[in-house]
């Protein structure tokens, strides 16, 4: 119920959720000819940017709004695409999205006439622990200010591998690459959670109104680890 309204949940699709356009009010607003619409500036960079990116931004500072994408990426999902000529291709879902620095006008690698047909999600291994958390302003359906998907491959209390993927903080679902080396072979403790939380935002570059996302990101990561530890 926190993902969308009943109307959207009844009519929406997984493909639509993954390929949805950003919620930036300057991009959506008719009066702003921003960079993503072929204009000369990112209005969010100097304007109202409370909800915008702290990681991976530039020259545009949108955030990707999908709730499904972070956890599906953490679970190593594969997305299958089909074009109008019947040609198919597949790729890791993490490679489906692209930063503004890669392509200013499209958030995904979908080409003209191409659609998402389905996704493959591997069956979790024995001992896997997975969790998705989001922080939002309203109790009702709302977009995430910050979200985290956590997938850990456990052997006893030792992490054999895992992924941390963030939502609401970057133009794409943000894979915390620094977390992989920290997780591999580590004991599942709150000290590990602290290290991962610190690593996740060490390269953050907040704008004038969204510095709060740094602390919020750290706290939601630590909370996710704590919930898995206590489960």
**Domain 1-76+125-231 falls under CATH 3.40.1410.10:** no
Domain range annotation of the chain? 1-76+125-231
Would you tell me the crossing angle of helices 212-230 and 190-200 to the nearest 10 degrees? 150
User: What pLDDT, on the 0 to 100 scale, is given for residue 192?
Assistant: 98
Give dist(CA 143, CA 42) in Å, integer.
21
pLDDT at 55: 99
pLDDT tens digits along 161-209: 999 999 999 999 999 999 999 999 999 999 999 999 999 999 999 999 9
- What's the confidence (pLDDT) of residue 211? 98
At 107, list the tokens.
Answer: 């958030």
Residues of the chain with pLDDT under 70: 1-4
Contact partners, residue 201, CB within 8 Å, separation at least 6:
54, 55, 214, 217, 218
N-term to C-term CA, the chain:
23
pLDDT for the residue numbered 2: 59
pLDDT at position 10 is: 76
- Report the pLDDT value the prediction gives residue 7, as an integer from 0 to 100: 74
């Amino acid at each position: 119920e926190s993902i969308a309204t009943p109307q959207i949940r009844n009519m929406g699709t997984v493909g639509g959720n993954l390929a949805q356009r950003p919620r930036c009010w300057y991009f959506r607003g008719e009066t702003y000819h921003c960079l993503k619409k072929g204009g000369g500036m990112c209005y969010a960079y100097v304007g109202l940017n409370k909800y915008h990116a702290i990681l991976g931004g530039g020259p545009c500072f949108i955030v990707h709004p999908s709730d499904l994408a972070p956890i599906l990426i953490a679970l190593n999902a594969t997305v299958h695409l089909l074009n109008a000529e019947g040609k198919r291709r597949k790729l890791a879902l993490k490679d489906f999205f692209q930063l503004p620095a890669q392509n200013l006008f499209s958030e995904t690698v979908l080409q003209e006439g191409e659609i998402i047909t389905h996704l493959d999600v591997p069956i979790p291994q024995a001992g896997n622990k997975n969790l998705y958390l989001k922080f939002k302003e309203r109790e009702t359906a709302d977009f995430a200010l910050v979200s985290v998907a956590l997938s850990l491959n456990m052997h006893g209390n030792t992490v054999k591998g895992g992924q941390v993927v963030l939502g609401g903080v970057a133009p794409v679902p943000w894979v915390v690459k620094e977390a992989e080396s920290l997780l591999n072979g580590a004991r599942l403790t709150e000290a590990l959670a602290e290290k991962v939380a610190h690593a996740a935002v060490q390269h953050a570059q907040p704008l004038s109104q969204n510095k709060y996302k740094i602390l919020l990101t750290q706290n939601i990561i630590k909370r996710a680890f704590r919930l898995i530890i206590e489960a």
